Amino acid sequence: HVILPILFLTLILLAFKRELKHNKLFIFLFFLNVALSIWYAFWFNNLWIPLKEKISFLNTFNFARFHFLRIIIIYLSFGLACYILWKLGKFWRQLATIAIISQIITLLLFNEELLYGHYFHSPSFREFYATEQFNDIKEYIGDPQDSYRVASIGIHPAISQYNGFYTLDTYNNVYPLEYKYKFRKIIAKELEKNKQLRKYYDEWGSRCYIFVDELGKTYEFTKDQNIEVRHLQLNTNQFKEMGGRYIFSSVPILNAKDNNLSLLKEFNHKESAWKIYLYQVI
């Protein structure tokens, strides 16, 4: 909201005032920024697939990650633009000063702690991992945690993993392709219902989750959200075959019996972001 207008304004001024110093460097940074934007925008486009198939390095190394370094180019351009405006006279100095102050205010307003803690009301670390709540679940089950496998619906499997549970689902960028295909059988019918989820799982797959059509690509449902799953279709036989015994769900599954799931108990805790419905595969 601040930087981009200043960059375009400076570019226009340079077009009419070619005598300004540092114009070549600014123009270079400006169009480098444009080039990096286009590169990132098309990196995941299917047009790249033939090239990625021929050159394995392009497939194994994600060049799009360099997009995070683009912030350096953006702020170098912004700083240089403000310097160029500063040299133009009193009015432009005031404008440059206002731009810098406005950008600082913007950064403060979009601070990560403020953004997620107050605007989006995201759970705190303690609320997210909910160790006391999951310890209650562990004690209720009673068996050694390495003797059974679990999976999650409506929460990230990292929460179960953090609390010592062995999970069938995971967020992992390196795991056997064979396992991915086996896990897919569990959620095959849900993927058939939702093209977006099917493409997401089949073409990427690092998020090996129990995807549910009714929930979409949302992985966190806190206890203050009134969300229900009514038409779940899981292959619980495949789930059992892979060692799965329990499902931790942050939303109630209304057709649990149709999926051979039995609700054992609901777990709530004042310091947890979740209400966990513990289901066992029958």
Instruction: Summarize pLDDT for 177-217 with one digit per residue, the tens.
Output: 999 999 999 999 999 999 999 999 998 889 999 999 999 99
Structure confidence at residue 8 (pLDDT): 94
Structure confidence at residue 16 (pLDDT): 81
Going by pLDDT thresholds of 50, 70 and 90, the confidence category of residue 80 is very high
Mean pLDDT throughout 121-131? 91
Going by pLDDT thresholds of 50, 70 and 90, the confidence category of residue 139 is very high
Structure confidence at residue 65 (pLDDT): 75
Q: What DSSP designation does 118 have?
A: I
Structure confidence at residue 46 (pLDDT): 80
- Higher pLDDT among residues 69 and 242, named by residue: 242
Spatial separation of the C-alpha atoms in residues 17 and 35, rounded to whole Å: 24
Spatial separation of the C-alpha atoms in residues 20 and 13, rounded to whole Å: 9
What whole-number percentage of the chain has pLDDT above 90?
71
Phi, psi (rounded to 5 degrees) for 144:
-55, 140
Residue 208: HSE in the Cβ half-sphere, 13 Å Cα cutoff: 22
Spatial separation of the C-alpha atoms in residues 256 and 249, rounded to whole Å: 11
- Higher pLDDT among residues 45 and 102, named by residue: 102
SS3 87: coil
